[in-house]
Structure 1
Amino acid sequence: MPAPEPTSPQSGLEEAVADLAAHVLADAAARACDITAATGGPPCTTAAPDPPPPSLPGPPSLSLPEPPSPDAVLEADLEQVLRGPTGLGTAGLRLFPRQETPALPEPEPAPAIAAVEGTPIPGLYHHPVPEPDPVRVEEVSRRIKAWALDEVSLYPDDWEEEFDGFSVGRYMVGCHPDAPTIEHLMLATRLMVAENAVDDCYCEDHGGSPDGLGERLLLAHTALDPLHTTREYKPEWEKSLHSDAPRRAYRSAMEYFGEMASASQADRFRHDMARLHMGYLAEAAWAKEDRVPEVWEYLAMRQFNNFRPCPTITDTVGGYELPADLHAQPAMQKVIALAGNATTIVNDLYSYTKELDAPGRHLNLPVVIAEREGLSDRDAYLKSVEVHNDLMHDFETEAAALAAACPVPNVRRFLRGVATWVDGNHHWHQTNTYRYSLPDFW
């Protein structure tokens, strides 16, 4: 299914975001001086930048020459975002397929993508990507298993096959090809494993239950967002952080993350994890009531119970930072939400048969559509594919519009990193035949 032509940015968006970029640069410089002075450093002075703001340093493939005019900046930036990077191994980093911009010069061809295990869902809009770097996959897989076993005692011996079958090293290397080091990749990998431990042990098939879930999630969240209490009661809380595998994993993964992330990036992640936990609670409430929600209600829950915490740390894993002021903008938040929503529906679709085989009733988008709209299982599944495709097209359109309106290199880099995560997430689901198989609907 071809991707739609990108829509023009909303009226006034270019001016608003350009003004914001100038404000962010000036404000960040002022705050840096304030922090330096407050911590005993030498005094410094700042001067307001003359508009337009100078280009921020970025990777060579993302830098642009000084533009002759604001209109030229927007046109060149949009062209580069739509075309994506060129050269070996960069096909999966483009926001749009190359054939949608025929007027652009043909970039250097990328190598053919080797045949991979697994079959993509017919009709599902996605971008094929190269196989993750096998050397990195092997090293990340080795390190994450050592962490799980030796540092946090994550699982008993009889879970080892399932842990290996998850292929988390391959997953994270494929989602973060721009990570500068293995340790940067490990930040995402530990957090991914910890999040899955909470989901499995608190919510799903390894002892999970909706009963008492709110208490378990709140106490586990204090491993991410520390409790500040009195001296009398603090030791009991600290002891609780080692009381079960999910809390041990959360505590350790967050400590590692905090060592390399800025304070703003760490707080951003905590916020997104609170969103995730709230989504878990909504799904648990429906399970307690034995109620199938309306489709729109289910999609609202999925905007919280989704993959959002993973792509939102793409800059930390990439070794740079998207300024908090830019990350918090409604346009950026919309792009991140759409990415999380689309990737989570991918999970609904690929895990459909796996969940049907599991005990009890598992809510996913095809099940909810079938129940609420009176469709057959097949038609509900195919309609869910359409929902995913609409979300993907909206994500790409909004991302391209934002990149065009805000010509700041780290904005473009972050948007491309989120798009790469989306593509890598699909690739992992498609090729993880240990976990997933497709229904016989075609």
Structure 2
Amino acid sequence: MPEPGLSPLQSTLPTAASHFGAHVLGRSRTAGAEAAPVAQPAVAGVLPGASGVLPGASGVLPGVAAPAVPTPAVAVPAGPAPAVPAPVVAVSAAAGTPGPGLERVLRGPSGLGTAGLSLVRAVEPPAAVAAEAPVEVLEIPGLYYHPVPEPDPVRVAEIGRRIKEWAVEEVELYPEEWEKQFDGFSVGRYMVACHPDAPTVDHLMIATRLMVAENAVDDYYCEDHGGSPIGLGGRLLLAHTALDPLHTTREYQPQWAESLRADAPRRAYRSAMEYFGRQATPSQADRFRHDMARLHLGYLAEGSWAQTDHTPEVWEYLVMRQFNNFRPCPTITDTVGGYELPADLHAQPAMQRVIALAGNACTIVNDLYSYTKELAAPGRHLNLPVVIADREDLSDQDGYLKAVEVHNDLMRDFEAEAAALAAACPVPGVQRFLRGVATWVDGNHYWHQTNTYRYSLPDFW
């Protein structure tokens, strides 16, 4: 799939990208640089545009030749340009004097690579549009994030219509009594916020089908709707063959093929993967299968701890969350964007570290916003605040506040590593992919922060 360059949906990116490399490299030489306060996250500064080359960069990653990037012969079709309302209001500290734990969090990330650096796309002043009701947000004081524009409501509505039709009529994913929960997930708003550069609604449906299918596997096999750690490995193995097909003898092939229709998660996986495969390159599809195997391994680790009533050490929990996390979602950002990051560049250790840090930060966001939801559910659910409080002998509040710190540190490291990679590898596809991953991180936070149907926050401030 050729690199088509930026679609019109990314026309709000700044044109001053040529200064980015020198700016970041100059900052990296400044010892003891302090980060800007995070109580009012900035929206300025993004990764360079896909067509620019960074000044001062010495070349591509060691051992990797920069691929030729021809001028595309065919423009990528684009949907209507979304209206861009004002950004979501940034978080602010609670009134009064914070305690030592909260004060430490409110200082935000600091250190090399964090001062003045933001990987969020720029936001231009909005055009005149009809007034809409403000989006309700959940505010976690001290949480480091970047606000994003409201997603295009036309695309949100169309994605919502298409995905519900697919889930109900094509794969029979859920019974009628679960309709309210499905609607409350707001998957259309989620995916449009995470993939604003998708050239068409059809491209957005790649991510949307896969997201819904992955969530169904988690619900049916692991958690909310009859999930159990008992027998989880066998269920996940059979479901994984809907993504990574079985190659066996003629005698047994039909029985396996029939098994893919046996339950809702397998039907959803098979249908979503077929749709993805029609628009992805073979290397993109293989990359996704690998990341889904990682996800299923993380499910198994969490399930085994539930069976043995084991509370892991904090570092062990973070290992599990690096596998049981959102990584498969940002790693397909190029497919959804209508281009391909070459496999050799995607496989580079520096790129793999950036993707892993992005997935880890996104997953800890989920731990923070779903904290009270999980406490209210039957049984004991492991999440980072719970594990920190248990293993480090802290109060529930201090455990939660330290989990905020962990998230902020992951975000700081993600942004610093992405900036270093952007400077070291001034290849247009790399720049665009890094920007896509950063946008996914920000869109993921936006969805959690604004999904008040699913989430609420503890009274710790």
**TM-score, normalising length from structure 2?**
0.76
1:162 aligns to what SS in structure 2?
A: helix
Do the aligned residues in 1 keep the contact of 2:147 with 2:446 (CA within 8 Å)? Answer: yes
Of 60, 64, 75, which residue of structure 2 is paired with 1:17? 60
Do the aligned residues in 1 keep the contact of 2:114 with 2:416 (CA within 8 Å)? Answer: no
CA 1:6–1:158 in 2, change beyond 3 Å: closer, same or farther?
farther
Of 260, 276, 286, which residue of structure 2 is paired with 1:257? 276
1:438 aligns to what SS in structure 2?
A: coil
CA 1:224–1:90 in 2, change beyond 3 Å: closer, same or farther?
farther
Distance, in Å, in 2 between the alignment partners of 1:236 and 1:426 is: 42
Which residue in 1 is equivalent to 2:326? 307
Of 116, 123, 137, which residue of structure 1 is paired with 2:135? 116
Which residue in 2 is equivalent to 1:425? 444
Of 86, 100, 103, which residue of structure 1 is paired with 2:116? 100
CA 1:262–1:248 in 2, change beyond 3 Å: closer, same or farther?
same
Of 357, 364, 372, which residue of structure 1 is paired with 2:383? 364
1:417 aligns to what SS in structure 2?
A: helix
Are 1:209 and 2:224 an aligned pair? no
1:394 Cα deviation after fit: 0.3
Unpaired runs of 5+ in structure 1? 26-53, 60-86
Of 195, 208, 212, which residue of structure 2 is paired with 1:193? 212
Do the aligned residues in 1 keep the contact of 2:114 with 2:415 (CA within 8 Å)? Answer: no
CA 1:269–1:89 in 2, change beyond 3 Å: closer, same or farther?
farther
Distance, in Å, in 1 between the alignment partners of 2:296 and 2:304 is: 13
Distance, in Å, in 2 between the alignment partners of 1:210 and 1:337 is: 26
Do the aligned residues in 1 keep the contact of 2:84 with 2:152 (CA within 8 Å)? Answer: no
- Which deviations, in whole Å up to 9, do the C-alpha atoms of 1:251-295 show, x marking residues without a partner? 000000000000000000000000000000000010011010000
- Which deviations, in whole Å up to 9, do the C-alpha atoms of 1:53-77 show, x marking residues without a partner? x655589xxxxxxxxxxxxxxxxxx
User: Aligned ranges for residues 165-184 of structure 1 at < 5 Å?
Assistant: 165-184=184-203
CA 1:291–1:101 in 2, change beyond 3 Å: closer, same or farther?
closer
Amino acid at match of 2:125: A
Distance, in Å, in 1 between the alignment partners of 2:397 and 2:412 is: 23
CA 1:343–1:250 in 2, change beyond 3 Å: closer, same or farther?
same
Distance, in Å, in 2 between the alignment partners of 1:17 and 1:284 is: 41
Amino acid at match of 1:195: E
Do the aligned residues in 2 keep the contact of 1:14 with 1:405 (CA within 8 Å)? Answer: yes
Of 143, 152, 168, which residue of structure 2 is paired with 1:149? 168
Distance, in Å, in 2 between the alignment partners of 1:91 and 1:303 is: 30
Do the aligned residues in 2 keep the contact of 1:114 with 1:131 (CA within 8 Å)? Answer: no
Do the aligned residues in 2 keep the contact of 1:6 with 1:397 (CA within 8 Å)? Answer: no
2:323 aligns to what SS in structure 1?
A: coil
Distance, in Å, in 2 between the alignment partners of 1:389 and 1:269 is: 27
Distance, in Å, in 2 between the alignment partners of 1:314 and 1:395 is: 16
Do the aligned residues in 2 keep the contact of 1:137 with 1:173 (CA within 8 Å)? Answer: yes
1:19 Cα deviation after fit: 5.3
**TM-score, normalising length from structure 1?**
0.79
The CA RMSD over aligned residues, in Å, is 2.8
CA 1:101–1:89 in 2, change beyond 3 Å: closer, same or farther?
farther
CA 1:109–1:152 in 2, change beyond 3 Å: closer, same or farther?
closer
Distance, in Å, in 2 between the alignment partners of 1:290 and 1:118 is: 35
Larger helix share, 1 or 2:
1
Which residue in 1 is equivalent to 2:337? 318
**Alignment: residue pair count:** 372
User: Aligned ranges for residues 21-170 of structure 1 at < 5 Å?
Assistant: 21-22=64-65, 25=67, 57=71, 100=116, 109-111=124-126, 115-170=134-189
Which residue in 2 is equivalent to 1:396? 415
1:89 Cα deviation after fit: 7.7
Unpaired runs of 5+ in structure 2? 1-23, 30-55, 74-82, 89-112
Are 1:376 and 2:395 an aligned pair? yes
Amino acid at match of 1:100: G
1:341 Cα deviation after fit: 0.1
Indicate the percent of aligned positions where both proteins have the same amino acid.
75
Which residue in 1 is equivalent to 2:431? 412
1:100 aligns to what SS in structure 2?
A: coil
1:217 Cα deviation after fit: 0.3
Which residue in 1 is equivalent to 2:254? 235
CA 1:192–1:286 in 2, change beyond 3 Å: closer, same or farther?
same
1:121 Cα deviation after fit: 1.1
Do the aligned residues in 2 keep the contact of 1:7 with 1:397 (CA within 8 Å)? Answer: no
